[in-house]
Amino acid sequence: MIRKCLFPVAGYGTRFLPATKAMAKEILPILDKPLVQYGVEEALEAGLTDIAFVTGRTKRAIEDHFDINYELEDQIRGTAKEAMLSGVRELIEKCTFSYTRQIQMKGLGHAILTGRPLIGYEPFAVVLADDLCFGDTAGHGVLRQMVELYAKHQCSIVAIEEVPRDQTSSYGVIAGVPIDDRLIRVTDMVEKPKPEDAPSNLAIIGRYILTPDIFEIIENTPPGRNGEVQITDALLRQAKEGRVLGYKFRGQRFDCGSVEGFVEATNYCFETFYKKQ
């Protein structure tokens, strides 16, 4: 049973400068909702109610977003605007939020290890909020699909997606043995390989389920690509023991860490949700 979801949010968001000079990239809105709220909604929908943030300087707005703003809420009480806060209100009521700071940016693996005191020794999910995901037609989110898989397989799971070959250097890339249409037992994984070195075109996207032994593995993982401690390298150790699955999720994902993906996500949400309101 998975209850906890870790959000590494300490990254600088340099691809969105100057917008992210003084503001968290996770607070950038797709329409009227911050990216990070979509991620927490996806976690709650998957039954994960313990939300843990690995945060950093300039990220205070995330904590404030998942809190009550008494003055503002007093101002709009009894008006139509009150309803605009009902979504985030529900998250605040149903979830608990905890925070720890990553003092130095030493990579995603290091960020996840920094979250260890908030997770303890139990399986947990990781969401990279700038990958915005929408689930299948039945409305099941990507994390929910992965939590259901975990119940059956009890091992680490990474969400994967086919990407054009020339984009492999932006992702962790896996190779493995198919189990069924959507599941692969991972045998190899490489962080941000050049297209000619990539073991496939199956890219890891920002949704993970990790078993807690990953923390000890990360502790013993030396810096890899870009001199950073990579979760991909740590997961490879589990994969070598047959303990990692790649899951071709049902649904859609937008790379909101890039301006193009951000605009695509905005258009998608406008067409799919906003116009239908």
- Identify the residue among 59, 232, 234, 246 touching ligand G1P (CB under 6 A): 232
Stretch that binds ligand G1P, among 56-64, 147-155, 194-202, 203-211 (CB under 6 A): 203-211
- Closer Cβ to ligand G1P, 20 or 232, answer by number: 232
Stretch that binds ligand G1P, among 113-121, 141-149, 180-188, 201-209 (CB under 6 A): 201-209
Question: CB of residue 49 vs ligand G1P: minimum separation in angstroms?
Answer: 24
Question: CB of residue 87 vs ligand G1P: minimum separation in angstroms?
Answer: 24
Question: CB of residue 166 vs ligand G1P: minimum separation in angstroms?
Answer: 15
- Closer Cβ to ligand G1P, 87 or 199, answer by number: 199
- Identify the residue among 123, 172, 224, 246 touching ligand G1P (CB under 6 A): 172
Find the binding residues for ligand G1P in span 131-160 (CB under 6 A).
Answer: 131
> N- to C-terminal Cα distance for the chain?
35
**97, burial (CB in 10 Å: exposed 0-12, middle 13-18, buried 19+):** middle
Question: CB of residue 257 vs ligand G1P: minimum separation in angstroms?
Answer: 6
Return all residues near 195 (Cβ < 8 A) that are at least 6 apart: 165, 166, 168, 169
CA separation, residue 21 to residues 25, 53, 57, 185 (Å) = 9, 20, 11, 41
Binding residues for ligand G1P, per CB under 6 A? 108, 128, 131, 171-172, 191, 203-206, 230, 232, 257
